[in-house]
């Protein structure tokens, strides 16, 4: 049975202004390897072109943890964010990471999102990486109407970059 994202009240997909869902399943990686790479926000810019200027407010370094408050730029928006779910994968439980993010502004510019990740080991040496984002606000409505869909395209690129980064790190570990 595949797991699903835990949505906070008010962000349930289908009730928000925009929703993006992206997933990959790959062989020869573990949920722990993927999770540990994802939470290292210092790496994001190296493999995800829609991320820049990551800064942390209440945690030293750039490794995400429970309740971390941070900011970054993505899709042209300056986002303030706070981790609302953080559970490393263990004992056949999936890894879970989610942040509430927002871009301040008036009614035409305010954006409010929950971006969630679920990373789980599957049988036969496979891992599933699911990322979903539920958005509220006029900018979210505009993203929903855009063609092509920038959120799903961008988040799929994030998944591909994440997988490639983990694979590269594994090859370097083998070579060392």
In a domain, 2, yes or no: no
pLDDT at position 116 over 70 = yes
Q: Yes or no: say if 117 and 128 are a contact pair by the CB < 8 Å rule.
A: no
Who wins on pLDDT, 157 or 60?
157
Q: Token match 């690129």: residue?
A: 157
The answer as to whether 98 is a domain residue is: yes
Which of 165, 172, 161 shows the shortest CA–CA distance to 33? 165
The span from the CA of 53 to the CA of 74, in Å, is: 9
Instruction: Return the pLDDT at 66.
Output: 96
Block residue for tokens 């800064």 = 55
Domain membership of residue 1 (yes or no) is no
pLDDT band for position 127 (50/70/90)? very high
Quick one: pLDDT band at residue 67, thresholds 50, 70, 90? very high
pLDDT band, very low/low/confident/very high, at 171 (cuts 50, 70, 90): confident
Which CA distances in Å does 46 have to 61, 145, 167?
17, 29, 14
In a domain, 32, yes or no: yes
Q: Which two tokens stand for residue 167?
A: 């694979």
Residue 143's CATH number: 3.30.530.20
Number of domains within the chain: 1
Top-confidence residue, 134 or 174: 134
Tell me whether residue 28 is in a domain.
Answer: yes
**Beta-carbon contacts of residue 9 (< 8 Å; ≥ 6 apart):** none
Task: Name the packing angle between helices 31-38 and 150-175 (round to 10°).
Answer: 110
Q: Is residue 5 part of a domain?
A: no
Average pLDDT of the chain, as a whole number:
94
Q: What is the pLDDT of residues 10-42, one digit of tens each?
A: 999 999 999 999 999 999 999 999 999 999 999
CA distance 40 to 47: 12
3-state class of 161 per DSSP?
Answer: helix
Evaluate the CA torsion angle 174, 87, 73, 59 in order and state its sign: negative
At 175 the pLDDT is 66
Q: What pLDDT digit, counting tens, does each position of 68-95 carry? A: 999 999 988 899 999 999 999 998 899 9
Residue 67 structural domain: 18-175
Total-model pTM: 0.94
């Amino acid at each position: 049975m595949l797991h699903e994202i835990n949505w906070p009240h008010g962000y349930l997909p289908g009730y928000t202004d925009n929703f993006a869902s992206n997933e990959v399943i790959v062989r020869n990686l573990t949920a722990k390897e993927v999770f540990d790479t994802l939470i290292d926000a210092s790496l994001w810019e190296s493999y995800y072109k829609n991320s820049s200027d990551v800064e942390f407010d209440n945690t030293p370094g750039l490794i995400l943890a429970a309740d971390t408050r941070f900011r970054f730029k993505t899709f042209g928006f300056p986002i303030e964010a706070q981790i609302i779910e953080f559970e490393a994968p263990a004992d056949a439980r999936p890894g879970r990471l989610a942040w509430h993010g927002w871009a301040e502004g008036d009614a035409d510019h305010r954006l409010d999102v929950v971006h969630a990740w679920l990373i789980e080991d599957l049988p036969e040496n496979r891992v599933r990486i699911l990322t979903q984002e539920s958005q509220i606000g006029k900018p979210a409505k505009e993203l929903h109407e855009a063609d092509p869909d920038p959120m799903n395209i961008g988040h799929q690129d994030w998944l591909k970059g994440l997988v490639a980064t983990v694979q590269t790190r594994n090859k370097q570990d083998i070579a060392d």
